[in-house]
């Protein structure tokens, strides 16, 4: 096998490999949106897939601030932020969002982008819930009942928004805490917290509440299960409150000692409420509450319009480039356009393999890399023209044209890759997406402009005695 045959085998193999990696993406986006959502819910997304960013697919953008005033005074802020990001990421991963972006911004802010999630209320409930879970005993003593009666006389004055007012807090007896219930009732519970959500082993949704309503089954860790068994055994006939973020979700009567550390939380949940609660309980509690600073929702229609506009502008620009290359450089321009199409195939396949996220700035990076690929061919062709005008044979002119243009192309590409690397290192979000597609595109354009087009010329010149080159 000759060197040219080996090179063509390599190119053909790379094309087949690129089509193999790109096929899942083409197949995925050819499905109906409802079918894709169903497959995503069952975690059946293809392994190699080019994901669409928030600006193309639609979704929710949240900017959240960690309430540092509620942190443990001994806690380190950087550690608390890292824990908060990790917990939010775990919640989002369990929710099944594809390619979310969860990053720290500044000292105490967290940016959360959830492509495909347009229900902002659901996203805020999932991401922003502190999820501090506690089991406490309800105080049903005469002192507690008298205090509840006085607090009830305050009426609406007992509340300050969703929280208990200072007037109601003053009527709470020593050794007790007052909390609102999920259904507008009030509970006095003992201050001791024998079991918390930190001792939770797992939580999942099931059907077992009143009238078959969804509930959240929980199972405690072995050491907490022993504590739970002793606590329920010592308080048969009394009520135990289950609190989440200072709200009593349920306060069932203990009928018998509960061994094994299993139970359920009910609270007139919908199926989505129960699912989200189970997710935040499994992921754990945030080190401090997070406050929503900014929220934006990008509708899927806007994303589709962006995709359509991006594709249209790209095709128009590509058509103009092809026309120019074919008219001005004739057959050599056709070869350059073939390399350009190959460059685009390689770029999309590489992004699919690395499961990259394509955004509007990323599309701009792709178009810029394609433009640089054309620019490289223009440099080569002009150098070949100079050698031909100097009266050199076609084969020698092609060889020297590529050799002498190589240095300029290499310098240009290295400079651009260096700038893109700085953008990736210091930029955030869309800037990183632009940098990634630009770097990958430049690498692919360098390969196609230098290697593939020269392979075509070498094959053409070796097969035919050419005295005049169509350039």
Would 314 be classed as within a structural domain?
yes
Q: What percent of the chain has pLDDT over 90?
A: 13
Q: How confident is the model at residue 39 (pLDDT cuts 50, 70, 90)?
A: confident
The CATH number of the domain holding residue 162 is 3.30.1360.200
**114 with 209, same domain?**
no
**340 with 407, same domain?**
yes
**What's the pTM value of the predicted model, to 2 decimals?**
0.63
The CATH number of the domain holding residue 113 is 3.30.70.3400
Torsion of CA 93, 351, 12, 336, to 10 degrees: 170
**201 with 83, same domain?**
no
Question: CA-to-CA distance for 139 and 175, rounded, in angstroms?
Answer: 10
What pLDDT is recorded for position 203?
86
Would 42 be classed as within a structural domain?
no
Would 436 be classed as within a structural domain?
yes
Question: CA-to-CA distance for 173 and 391, rounded, in angstroms?
Answer: 104
Residue 270: count other Cβ atoms within 10 Å of its Cβ: 10
Mean pLDDT of the chain: 84
Would 52 be classed as within a structural domain?
no
* 3 state SS of 117: coil
**215 with 319, same domain?**
no
**221 with 363, same domain?**
no
| Interval 401-413: pLDDT, tens | 999 888 888 888 8
What pLDDT is recorded for position 188?
92
Determine the angle formed by the axes of helices 453-463 and 394-426, rounding to 10 degrees: 170
**431 with 332, same domain?**
yes
User: What letters, b where the CB count within 10 A reaches 16 and e where it falls short, cover 371-405?
Assistant: bbbbebbbbbbebbbebbeeebebeebbbbbbeeb
What is the rounded average pLDDT of the residues 368-381?
A: 86
**17 with 97, same domain?**
no
What pLDDT is recorded for position 428?
66
Range of the domain at 171: 133-285
| Interval 215-234: pLDDT, tens | 888 889 999 999 999 999 99
Q: What are phi and psi of 240, to 5 degrees?
A: -115, 125
Would 241 be classed as within a structural domain?
yes
**249 with 336, same domain?**
no
Would 47 be classed as within a structural domain?
no
User: What letters, b where the CB count within 10 A reaches 16 and e where it falls short, cover 162-180?
Assistant: eebeeebeebbeeebbbbb
**126 with 137, same domain?**
no
| Interval 300-355: pLDDT, tens | 655 667 677 777 877 888 888 889 889 999 889 999 999 888 988 998 998 888 88
**386 with 242, same domain?**
no
């Amino acid at each position: 096998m000759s060197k040219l045959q080996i090179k063509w085998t390599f190119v053909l193999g790379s094309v087949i490999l690129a089509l193999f990696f790109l096929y899942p993406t083409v197949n995925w986006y050819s499905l109906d949106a409802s079918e894709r959502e169903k497959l995503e819910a069952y975690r059946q997304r293809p392994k190699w897939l080019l994901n669409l960013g928030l600006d193309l697919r639609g979704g929710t953008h949240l900017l959240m601030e960690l309430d540092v005033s509620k942190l443990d005074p001994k806690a380190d802020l950087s550690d608390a932020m890292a824990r908060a990001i990790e917990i939010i990421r775990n919640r989002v991963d369990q929710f099944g969002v594809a390619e979310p972006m969860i990053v720290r911004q500044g000292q105490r802010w967290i940016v959360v982008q959830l492509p495909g999630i347009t229900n902002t209320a659901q996203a805020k409930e999932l991401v922003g819930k502190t999820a501090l879970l506690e089991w406490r005993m309800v105080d049903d003593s005469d002192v507690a009942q008298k205090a509840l009666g006085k607090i009830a006389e305050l009426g609406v004055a007992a509340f300050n928004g969703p929280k208990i007012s200072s007037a109601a807090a003053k009527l709470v007896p020593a050794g007790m805490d007052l909390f609102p219930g999920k259904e507008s009732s009030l509970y006095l519970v003992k201050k001791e917290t024998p079991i918390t959500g930190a001792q939770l082993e797992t939580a999942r949704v099931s059907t077992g509440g009143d009238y078959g309503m969804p509930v959240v089954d929980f199972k405690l860790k072995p050491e907490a299960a022993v504590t739970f068994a002793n606590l329920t055994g010592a308080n048969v006939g009394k009520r135990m409150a289950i609190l989440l973020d200072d709200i009593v979700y349920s306060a069932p009567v203990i009928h018998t000692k509960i061994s094994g550390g299993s139970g359920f939380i009910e609270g007139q949940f919908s199926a989505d409420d129960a699912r989200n609660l189970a997710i935040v309980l499994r992921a754990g509690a945030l080190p401090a509450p997070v406050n929503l600073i900014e929220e934006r929702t990008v509708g899927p229609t806007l994303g589709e319009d962006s995709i359509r506009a991006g594709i249209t502008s790209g095709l128009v620009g590509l058509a103009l480039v092809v026309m120019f290359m074919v008219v001005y450089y004739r057959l050599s321009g056709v070869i350059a356009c073939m390399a350009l199409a190959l460059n685009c195939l390689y770029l999309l396949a590489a992004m699919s393999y690395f499961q990259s996220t394509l955004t509007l700035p990323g599309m701009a990076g792709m178009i810029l890399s394609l433009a640089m690929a054309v620019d490289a061919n223009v440099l080569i062709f002009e150098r070949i023209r100079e050698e031909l005008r100097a009266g050199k044979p076609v084969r020698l002119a092609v060889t020297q044209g590529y050799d002498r243009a190589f240095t300029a192309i290499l310098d240009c590409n290295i400079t651009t890759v260096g700038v893109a690397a700085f953008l990736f290192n210091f930029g955030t979000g869309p800037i990183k997406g632009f940098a990634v597609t630009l770097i990958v595109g430049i690498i692919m354009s360098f390969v196609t402009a230098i290697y593939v087009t020269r392979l075509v010329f070498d094959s053409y010149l070796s097969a035919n005695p050419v005295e005049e080159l169509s350039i």
